[in-house]
Structure 1
Amino acid sequence: MPLKDECKLCGRVLPYSYLRRCQRCGKLFCLDCMVPDVLTGDTRRLFCLNCAKKAVSPKSKNKYEALTSYLHFRAAFTDIVRLSFAQIDGIIGDNLPLTAYRSEEWWRKYPSNAHVKAWLNAGWEAKEVNLKEAYVVFQKVKAQQRMSVEREKKEKGRQLQKPFTPPPSRIFTRQKPSKTKIAKLYARLKNIERMRTAQPKLRGNFKPKPVHEKRLLKPKRE
């Protein structure tokens, strides 16, 4: 266990006895950067200022919006901004993920990611990333690149604003009967015609009585 360590928020190097571990994020902070549990008021549980702010403030849709507004503000004064990871934690009110401390690809990933959009929308790009000293250097994007980003936004907005076109209605067509069904129907018709022709033709309106009527009218033999 080291005798001294650095506070993850203010950056001061203090003896280990003056540092405490946050009960929420698990990182080491000095006593000046920690407060008791704001949810329960328990003095034995200490939260860092970032975790306390996150617990009290309502959750926003994107936590990196604060970084976008900060870079918009700095754009009026300078073209290069150097921020430590601890400063970014304080700006967004939350801790960066572990991948931000371990790999440089997290800072230069696809523009569709939320954290990359934070500085691209403000007109900045991550120029330099130093994982050992835990800082990142942002630089203003050139005018041409910024115009291309704005054009992409406008095109996406136009695509979303297109009128809704309903899908084409499905027309149901009757299927033709199969050849076997047609053959069966013709066979039935022929059988009916044969039965009609097989009956004897009688003159006049006389019609032969059916068998059950003949049985009813048949006299009984004594």
Structure 2
Amino acid sequence: MYCRDCITYTRDGNIICLNCARRLVSPKMRGSKYSPLSRYLTRKARYADHVTLPFAKIEEIIDDSLPFSAMHYRHWWSTPSSPQAQAWLGVKWKVHVVNLEHKTVTFRREGLVKKKTRRKRRKATSAFMDKTFRPTKPRRLREPSKTKIARAQARLANVERRRSSMRQYRGKFKPKSAYEKRLYKPDAKPSKTED
């Protein structure tokens, strides 16, 4: 029943399939073989109401191959008491479409009911009111409050005060400070001292 590529020998000399050997070596996972699929569907529930997965993607998610009956019989996907069905029914998904020709399964979230939006009722108006012209109220411009006016005036006063307190220099460059003038006299340049 095994292909020749996946057979290996154990230390005892018994023949074992590599898939079976992988299960023996790797630590046992909690839950069923299909619990990674339920985690995948839980993450997808944030973004989508239905998910179409090819069988190869499901095998990649569960990190194992699907059984023969899953590939050839629709009944395998619809049995609610089976462990694989508990994986998606437990996270409120159900199998919507199984396409055995294209080898895909479409899952749809359970319990999603479209919310009915209520229409707002129009107020009953008489035929006379519809035909007559209703003038709109002129829009009243609000004047700024006294506090806002006072703050704006204070900001303007501060800006003017800063401008007037800044020193005005002749030319383009800022003059040297007294400390710099004492350090470097214009006639004598500092010389390097040899130690």
Highest relative contact order (Cα 8 Å, sep 6+), 1 or 2?
2
TM-score if structure 1 supplies the norm length?
Answer: 0.41
